[in-house]
Amino acid sequence: MNAPAAEMTEPTHRRGGGRLGRKALRSAPVTSFPTLVRQIPVYEIVPDEAVELIHEESLKILEEVGCEFRDDEAIALWKAAGADVKETRVRIDRALLMELVSKVPPEFTLNARNPERTVRVGGKNSIFVPMYGAPYVRDLDNKRRYGTLADLNNFHKLAYMAPALHSSSSIICEPMEIPVPKRHLHIIHSALKHSDKPFMGIVTSKERAEDTMAMAGIVFGEEFVRDNPVLVAITNCNSPLVWDATMLDAMRVYARHNQPLILAPFALCGASTSASAVGAVAQVNAEALAGVAFTQLIRPGSPQIYGQFMVTVDMKTGAPMGGTPEAAQMMYLMGALARKYKLPWRTSGFHVGSKLNDAQAGYEANMLMHAAILAGANYIWHSAGWLEAGLTCGYSKFATDCEQLVGWYKYAGGVPFDDFKEAMAAIREVGPQGHFLGTQHTLEHFESAFFMPSIMDFNSFEQWTAEGAKDHDTRGLEKARNMLADYQEPKLDEGIAEGLKDLIARREEKLPDSVS
């Protein structure tokens, strides 16, 4: 089912194109492309002086205003490091801050249970990751309802089947029928069972993070997961300027195991930040740097991801908006800051406000993914399924996003020149008034020369009508159904599968059915 490992990885690590690299893109069926190595330049939206101005103001925020760390152990660590601590307010000297931030490696390897799915994060490397956290789904009948474990299983299967997705995420949708105290066990089990790509951890309590690491230890080996990244976990700063106890607990669990965290303020710009794009970036940068620095108090040298989730707020209603020009501009600024600090960084790709997989969703998604690619993002999250500001994961949206990611993968891989001489020879072979359809060059390259999506329709109006006049949303649903019908489970070793079931059973016996 998988393309040979040498064909899938070696050419792409050398360059973005190449004959073997293109062969990998057209091999079918394929469950994962290698790490995307960007071969296009990053776009600098402002001069270096503007980046320095934001950097300086962020340092002043942490020195003069400070950041809340609402946890006794965190406060003790900051005091021991020499920060200015008053109750839960921590003011961090710039020298201490930057010394800690400099300990984070600029790149790291994220291991998958199938080594062919292992990826690199940081530098010129980018990976695409599906959405996370939706309580609702827009299902295969295009109805909006609460998510279930069956839906989560399906989305993990789709993530496994999608060539350009490099991770299965974890809580793509919430399995709402499972009690909250036990839900995390089934989320992680689904990610590990239905896909062999890297996955994401649970951060809603220390115990749930520890359960995640225990399950990872069964699959990868306890010794391996003490030092080698196998998952990424998301921790959000509560903007403005608060790291709470729940997030700090999760940081400690994962950082001590050398598992990378995304240190990402959750900013509703205009509500939890000032109503200014550059002002919001200065604040979010300060919050993210404080989180990154704290992880290095836990385990110096542990891999981490500088992050941000920044959406603007509709100033008429207070609703978050996706796909705005300001959100794209802020992405470029965060990318420039990440490169200044030599940090791997996360942003979001296809997060939209639209309720349906419609034209609005397409416009919003394109605005943000274009910025994510050109800004040089390394961990491009929310790249499949996102609707309704993250409240809903749509089957049709998931399938159509995955197809578009193949195009973005090719776009960011750069323009290949390896067949340029043969193309010029074909012109001489055909001459004036001929056609190229029968040339040797065309026969060798027609499958890989151009992006050829299957969901988008380029037929004549008459042909489109004869085939049912299906809109894009309908074709996306059909694609999702077909992908699920073709799914073949990447089986876990029998002993590992039993070990996971046993752990889940033992933990469920101890956990309550409801949150007290």
Q: Is 13 a member of any domain? A: no
Averaged over 484-510, what is the pLDDT?
97
Other Cβ atoms closer than 10 A to 435: 8
151 token code pair: 């839906």
Q: Is the pLDDT of residue 153 over 50?
A: yes
Other Cβ atoms closer than 10 A to 465: 11
Give pairs for 119-124: CB < 8 Å, separation 24+.
119/34, 119/35, 119/166, 119/167, 119/198, 120/35, 121/232, 121/260, 121/303, 121/305, 121/344, 121/378, 121/379, 122/343, 122/344, 122/378, 123/344, 123/378, 124/37, 124/38, 124/39, 124/376
Q: Domain of 140?
A: 99-413
Averaged over 81-107, what is the pLDDT?
98
pLDDT in tens, 1-27: 333 333 333 333 333 334 444 444 444
- Taking the whole predicted model, whether its pTM rises above 0.75 is answered as yes
Q: Is 503 a member of any domain? A: no
Q: Is 439 a member of any domain? A: no
pLDDT in tens, 403-423: 999 999 999 999 999 999 999
Q: Residue 58 and residue 341: Cα distance in Å, rounded?
A: 13
* Number of folded domains that form the chain: 1
Q: What does the DSSP assignment read for 3-28? A: PPHHHHHHHHHH-S--HHHHHHHH-S
Q: Is 77 a member of any domain? A: no
Q: Is 256 a member of any domain? A: yes
Q: Is 445 a member of any domain? A: no
By residue count, the chain amounts to 516
Nearest Cα to 287, choosing from 260, 313, 307? 307
3-state secondary structure of 469: coil
- Given this model, what pLDDT does residue 515 score? 81
Regarding predicted confidence, which is higher, 184 or 21? Answer: 184
Q: Is 456 a member of any domain? A: no
Task: Please report, for residues 14, 416, 425, 426, 441, the alpha-carbon distance to residue 421 in angstroms, rounded to integers and kept in the order given.
Answer: 21, 12, 6, 9, 10
Averaged over 243-260, what is the pLDDT?
98
- Given this model, what pLDDT does residue 26 score? 41
CATH code of the domain in which 278 resides? 3.20.20.480
Q: Is 260 a member of any domain? A: yes
